[in-house]
Structure 1
Amino acid sequence: MEQEYWAETEALELPAGVTWPPVIHQEPAPDHEGVLRGHSYEPGFGRGQAQGVWFCIWQKEWLTQRSGAPERADAALVQLNAYKGMVNYQEYSDAMVRAAVDEQLEKAALGDPSLMAKNVEINCPEN
């Protein structure tokens, strides 16, 4: 999983001055007998995690730059729209998640940060 994550980071651009956070591992959880067990990850999990982190980073960039650096905000929105071509959006997200992402990006294009700010608050860990 870590190898997938780091391989995917090589293909994704981040905003100037931002570095990739470490891989996020799931906490051990009890099995059906109550014994704490580690996790195994299916193929693609690391790639999807990297794309999700990437999306969060670019959302934060857009939210930060939108009022003071419009050219950086515009560049962030271009990056964010590229998410629709990624496997995390196309294959790993259901129709409801894709519709929520689409609505966030549509509102952002109109200058409304409300949905993107809420998504960052709920879904994006501190980097």
Structure 2
Amino acid sequence: MPDKKASAVWNGDLKSGNGTVEVESGAFESSYTFASRFEQGEGTNPEELIGAAHAGCYSMALSNELHSAGHESNSVDTKAVVTLETVDGAPTISTIKLTAVADVPGMDESEFQKIAEATKDACPVSRALKAVNIELEASLKN
């Protein structure tokens, strides 16, 4: 599998500085600042990008696991909420809550929950973030 690349540049000090982050493919580039990370300023932040990566990874992984178990999924829609808080005096990503809704016609709820929970622990981004508390709320679309 090929390596995936991204880069970031930061200019100046923490509070008044600014930076940009981009991915090698050119599909994404954005600015970021102290305010966009720790307050409500414009631009992105590392936590938001981790959330997007985790939601994307989980959606793909759950779809794969559902299909591997013989179920046709029409879609998996995942949202991630990344909590950044002070732990032992340092900013820390403490929790990521994934909320997933899967459109899988005719699927049994208990089997779905089993597959969804196993996928939470197995997706590559979850595995990379083992130090973070990862919560999951998964449901089937009505």
Which of structures 1 and 2 has the bigger CA Rg? Answer: 2
Greater strand share, 1 or 2? Answer: 2
TM-score bucket (shorter structure): 0.3 to 0.5
Higher RCO (C-alpha under 8 Å, 6+ residues apart): 1
Normalized against structure 1, the TM-score is what?
0.32
Normalized against structure 2, the TM-score is what?
0.30
Greater helix share, 1 or 2? Answer: 1
